[in-house]
Chains A and B, each alone.
Chain A
Amino acid sequence: MPSLKSLKTRVSSIKSISKITRAMQMVASAKLRRAESRLAAARPYAKRMAQVMSLLAARAAGTPNALPLLNGRGKDQTHLLIVTSSDAGLCGGFNANIYRQARDRALALEAAGKTVQFYVIGIKNAPVIRNNFPGKTVHETKREETSPVTFENAQKIAQDLIQRFNAGEFDVAHLFFSHYHSVLSQVPTETQIIPAAPESDDTKNQAAANDASSGAIEFEPDEETILSTLLPRSIAVAIYQAMLENATSEQGSRMSAMENSTRNAGEMISKLSIQYNRLRQAAITTELVEIISGAEAL
């Protein structure tokens, strides 16, 4: 049986924790709103870019000297898994969910005899990957490389990736991030960004439709030059988009995690208060009984 004093200190410590979690929840919800609006603002560019890319890719697919960034180098031995994560903790299962998806993928690739490397964006998943896949990490970003999430930062990462690709460090790059659906649901997602060739039937059909309707498009200077300048940019856009989705998901995830812990704290406080009151009552009763029986004995 805990003592009265220990119960009292527990209640007060839970109270101060719940103050912190409530504050964090409110901060996260304010940040979430901002991140959501930035995500919405970035969508038109990404959408347009994807449209243009799929159109160009469909037209360039047949050409023999296609670009390696678009069509690959004809091998897929070394896979680079780009794993994003947050820079701050206390956001529920956010980082773990992304990591789990990447890990499953990595194990599947290794089982198929491929070489796996990791490129970690955001600091929180870096130690986990370092421990579970020792020596496989080729790069970990630092805090100042990823926050705030700006297009310039995404571009730097993209340039680094393209350099590594051109140097032959890897053949295929997969990007793992958390897709933001709503506050309650963030889905860990995987996309292949290098080579960028559209693979799903959906994009293929769309590209074919575009191709049919755009027989008479004029290109200045020419398709290949445009494609080769646009490809690195589209990779930067993909990374920027992923970073934004991630930032939004992180805040959403933190908000619901903090909401849960605030509620839990409230429940615990009321449970402990009841226990405390019972205990106090019991102590008073015992004292009274002692006094009365002492008086009777006289």
Chain B
Amino acid sequence: MAELHYELVTPSRLARSGDAFMVVVPGTEGDLGVMAGHMPTMTAIRDGEVAIYSSEHQIETKFHISGGFAEINEKGLIILAEEAKEEN
């Protein structure tokens, strides 16, 4: 299956970009697991964790974000956040 291209952008830098199996986004209406070929969506994000999955069961990394907004279009997923901090 095709990989999902994602970008995590903050005002001060491009925090992370790449391809992943799935990215879980904490939308205001509930968590969204975004995979390649997701329908175009725009959603506000509540403060919480973005998890990037490299495969079905493996989480590559997690980010704590606040003040966010996500756009999913045919090119991939773009998360605009005011702050993004990688969790170890």
Query: A residues bordering B, Cβ < 8 Å?
Result: 38, 41-42, 44-46, 48-49, 52, 56, 150-151, 154-155, 214, 216-221, 225-226, 229-230, 233, 237, 240
Question: Quick one: given A52-B42, A220-B44, A225-B44, are A45 and B69 in contact (CB under 8 Å)?
Answer: no
A-B contact count (CB 8 A): 73
Q: Give the chain A neighbours of B42 by CB distance below 8 A.
A: 52, 56, 217-220, 226
Which B residue's beta carbon lies closest to that of A37? Answer: B13
Q: B82 and A230: CB pair below 8 A?
A: no
Nearest Cβ in chain B — how far from A206, in angstroms? 15
Q: Give the chain B neighbours of A225 by CB distance below 8 A.
A: 44
Which A residue's beta carbon lies closest to that of B29? Answer: A220
Which B residue's beta carbon lies closest to that of A152? Answer: B82
Which B residue's beta carbon lies closest to that of A56? Answer: B42
Q: Give the chain B neighbours of A219 by CB distance below 8 A.
A: 41-43
Q: Give the chain B neighbours of A38 by CB distance below 8 A.
A: 12
Give the interface centre of A44, A225, A237, A240 by most chain B CB atoms within 10 Å. A44
From B14, B28, B73, contact of A44 by CB (8 A): B14
Which B residue's beta carbon lies closest to that of A47? Answer: B9
Question: Quick one: given A219-B42, A225-B44, A230-B69, are A48 and B12 in contact (CB under 8 Å)?
Answer: no
In the complex, how many residues of chain B place their beta carbon closer than 8 angstroms to a beta carbon of chain A?
Answer: 23
Give the distance in Å from the alpha carbon of A48 to the alpha carbon of B17 in the complex. 14
Question: Quick one: given A218-B41, A219-B43, A225-B44, are A48 and B9 in contact (CB under 8 Å)?
Answer: yes
Q: Give the chain B neighbours of A46 by CB distance below 8 A.
A: 11
Give the distance in Å from the alpha carbon of A226 to the alpha carbon of B13 in the complex. 23
Q: List 30 A-B contacts (CB under 8 A).
A: A41-B13, A42-B11, A42-B12, A42-B13, A45-B9, A45-B80, A48-B7, A48-B71, A48-B80, A49-B80, A52-B71, A151-B10, A151-B11, A151-B82, A214-B73, A217-B40, A217-B41, A217-B73, A219-B41, A219-B42, A220-B41, A220-B44, A221-B28, A221-B29, A221-B43, A221-B44, A226-B42, A226-B69, A229-B69, A240-B11
Nearest Cβ in chain B — how far from A63, in angstroms? 16
Nearest Cβ in chain B — how far from A36, in angstroms? 14
